């Protein structure tokens, strides 16, 4: 058995077999299911069913991956990385929009993980060969700061901070509509949609979530907000915004796409559609992360500048003022 790795908060409630299939796309789903059923995959040192739903901090151990790791090839891909901070233990990168963090279904190469192994000789292997150094994730179209561990020791320290919710994250977003309150707290249980398992919704069957928000600019058509999530559920900010009927601009799966421009005056709708076309991805940026250094124990505060598309969006939205 391998040394095992732990499940992050954003990975909970995913079926064990689907999770491993995403982690190791080179292995067939049938092989993974058979390995689970034969006891070659352990959850918290016990056998589990393929349908087992993962929980935060579950420890996963597996034998079939170790036997076939040489078959799982991680291609080194040269790419430009915007490094915000680096020392002997950690790396902080400003991830551009459109870049997938690690290989998975439909994305086997040209991910951030492929770029990391090209640039760095030493990265943690806590989460397996296809997730070198990856401590947490950002959605493909979310830009901003992401934290990378160079060693397993650093990885475990950082993962524990995520689990204990002592890491502070700040996001910037542009949403549709004018928020009534200038600040507040959004909560509710988040679960996968039964009709579309790639998206999430507020549901009694889900996991608790909490996001603080502050409106920094608004007009009758759009608002810019600072979001500070306390929990780290998948798509949390996107779900909370949509639930308030203020979906993030260009976030089509949650009602923030071009159809949102319907019903406005033709000249206004035309400007809105131009904004959406120019942005091309949901308007969410992971601006800041604050955490305790895994070995130095000092507080680290990393800020990721806005990418060009987000800067242009903010400027365009303010053209609607007045």
**Pairing state of beta strands 284-292 and 143-149?**
parallel
pLDDT digits (tens, 9 = 90+) for 78-125: 999 999 999 999 999 999 999 999 887 677 789 999 999 999 999 998
Q: What is the pLDDT of residue 99?
A: 96
The burial of 61, by beta-carbon neighbours within 10 Å (0-12 exposed, 13-18 middle, 19 or more buried), is given as middle
Q: What are phi and psi of 191, to 5 degrees?
A: -140, 160
Confidence of residue 66 (pLDDT cuts 50, 70, 90): very low
Active site residue 121: no
Six token digits for residue 197: 């398992």
Specify the range with the lowest mean pLDDT, choosing from 43-52, 244-253, 297-306.
43-52
Tell me whether domains 5-71 and 73-164 share a fold: no
Q: Which is catalytic among the residues 139, 251, 252, 321?
A: 139
Contacts 24+ apart (CB under 8 A), 268-275: 268/221, 268/320, 271/319, 271/320, 272/221, 274/316, 275/249, 275/313, 275/316, 275/317
- Domain assignments of the chain as residue spans, ordered by start: 5-71, 73-164, 170-285+310-318
Domain 73-164 has CATH 3.30.2350.10: yes
Q: What is the Cα–Cα distance from 143 to 306, expressed in whole angstroms? A: 8
* Percent of all residues in the chain with a pLDDT value above 70, rounded to a whole number: 92
Q: Which pLDDT value is given to residue 320? A: 85
CATH code of the domain made up of 5-71: 3.10.290.10
CATH superfamily, region 170-285+310-318: Pseudouridine synthase (3.30.2350.10)
């Amino acid at each position: 058995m391998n040394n095992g790795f732990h499940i992050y908060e954003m990975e909970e409630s995913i079926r064990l077999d689907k999770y491993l299939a995403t982690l190791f796309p080179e292995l067939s789903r049938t092989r993974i299911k058979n390995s689970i059923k034969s006891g070659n995959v352990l959850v918290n040192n016990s056998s589990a069913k393929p349908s087992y739903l993962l929980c935060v901090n579950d420890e996963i151990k597996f034998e079939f991956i170790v036997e076939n790791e040489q078959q799982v090839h991680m291609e080194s891909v040269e790419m430009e990385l915007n490094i915000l901070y680096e020392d002997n233990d950690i790396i902080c990168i400003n991830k551009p929009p459109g870049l997938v963090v690690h290989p998975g279904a439909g994305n086997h190469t040209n991910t951030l993980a492929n770029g990391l192994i090209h640039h760095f000789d030493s990265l943690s292997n806590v989460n397996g060969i296809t997730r070198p150094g990856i401590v947490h994730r950002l959605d493909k179209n979310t830009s901003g700061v992401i934290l990378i561990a160079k060693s397993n020791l650093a990885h475990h320290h950082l993962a524990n901070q995520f689990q204990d919710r002592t890491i502070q994250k700040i996001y910037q977003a542009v949403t549709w509509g004018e928020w009534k309150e200038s600040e507040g707290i959004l909560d509710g249980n988040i679960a996968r949609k039964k009709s579309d398992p790639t998206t999430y919704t507020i549901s009694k069957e889900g996991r608790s979530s909490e996001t603080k928000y502050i409106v920094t600019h608004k007009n009758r058509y759009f608002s810019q907000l600072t979001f500070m999530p306390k929990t780290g559920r998948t798509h949390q900010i996107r779900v909370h915004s949509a639930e308030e009927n203020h979906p993030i601009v260009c976030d089509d799966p949650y009602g923030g796409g071009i159809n949102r421009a319907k019903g406005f005056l033709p000249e206004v709708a035309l400007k809105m559609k131009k904004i959406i076309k120019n942005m091309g991805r949901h308007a969410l940026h992971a601006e800041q992360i604050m955490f305790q250094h895994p070995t130095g124990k000092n507080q680290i505060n990393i800020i990721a500048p806005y990418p060009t598309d987000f800067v242009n969006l903010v400027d365009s939205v303010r053209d609607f003022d007045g």
